[in-house]
Chains A and B, each alone.
Chain A
C-alpha cells in the first residue's frame, strides 16, 4: 500500500457491503475501489450543495474545523471567501471599523 493511503476501519450494514462487493465483481475491481469511488463522489457532490457548504462555513466560523480542513472541503477560492467573512465577525475588527 502506498504511503499516501490511510487504513480505516468502519462498520456498515451487511446489505450495503454485499452490494458493494457485487458491484466490484461486475466492474472487475474490489470492495475498496468501490467504496473509495463512492466516498469521493459523495464528497464532491456534498461540497457542491449550497446548504452543506453553509454548514461547513458555520463549522469554520465556530472554530470546529481549521482553515486547512475548510480548504480541503470547499477548495481554495471558496475558503478564501469564508476566511474574509470570518474576520468580518471578529469583535476586534468590528471595533476597529466603529472607531474609524
Chain B
C-alpha cells in the first residue's frame, strides 16, 4: 500500500471534520499512515486543550495505534520544529510515497528537504480523494470549508484556488 507520513498540522486539519465519511477514516483506509514519535507527542499536547484543535487531536490519537508510530533520529541541521523535522527525516529514511503537511509558510524548505517523497497538503489530498471518487466534489468543498473556518484559512489564496477548482468540477 502507499505509505504516507503525516505532520501534526495536516492531521489536525483532517481531524477537525466529523461528517461521514470523515477524511481521517479515508486517510487511514487508503494509506499506510505513519507518524514519528515527535508528531505523536505534539498531538498529545494539543489534545489537552478544550478547543477545535484539541478535539481534533484527540480524534486522531484515538485512531493511531502502535503500528502507526515510528521513532526516528532528528536531522539537527534542519531549521524547523521537531515534529516537521522528525516527519521529514522519517519520510526520507523510509522513502515513503507521500508527505502530508499544512505548514504553508515552510513548504519551500520542506519540499527541498524531501528526497523521493511527494509533498501533499490537505486541500490537495482532498482533491485527490475527489479524483478517486471517495468524496464527491460537494462533500470535499464542505470538508474544506470546515477546515478553513477552524484554521483561519479564509484569506489564503491557495486554499481559495483549491476550493474554486472543486466547485467547477
The reply on A72 being an interface residue by CB < 8 A is no
Which residues of the partner chain A approach B97 to less than 8 Å between Cβ atoms? 100
Q: How large is the interface on A (under 10, 10 to 19, 20 to 34, 35 or more residues)?
A: 20 to 34
Main secondary structure of the interface of A (DSSP, over half): helix
Which residues of the partner chain B approach A89 to less than 8 Å between Cβ atoms? 124, 158, 161-162, 165
The reply on B94 being an interface residue by CB < 8 A is no
Which residues of the partner chain B approach A88 to less than 8 Å between Cβ atoms? 119-121, 123-124, 158, 162
The reply on B22 being an interface residue by CB < 8 A is no
With contacts A77-B108, A97-B125, A98-B128 known, is A84 near B157, CB below 8 A?
Answer: no
Asked whether B155 lies within 8 Å of A84 as measured between CB atoms, the reply is no
Seen from chain A, the residues whose Cβ lies within 8 Å of a Cβ on chain B are: 50-51, 54-55, 57-58, 61, 77, 79-86, 88-89, 93-98, 100
Q: List 9 A-B contacts (CB under 8 A).
A: A54-B157, A61-B158, A80-B109, A83-B108, A84-B110, A88-B119, A94-B131, A97-B120, A97-B125
Seen from chain B, the residues whose Cβ lies within 8 Å of a Cβ on chain A are: 2, 97-98, 104-112, 118-121, 123-125, 127-129, 131-132, 155-158, 160-162, 165
- Can you add 6 more A-B contacts, CB < 8 Å, to A61-B157, A84-B111, A100-B2? A54-B157, A80-B109, A81-B105, A88-B119, A88-B158, A98-B129
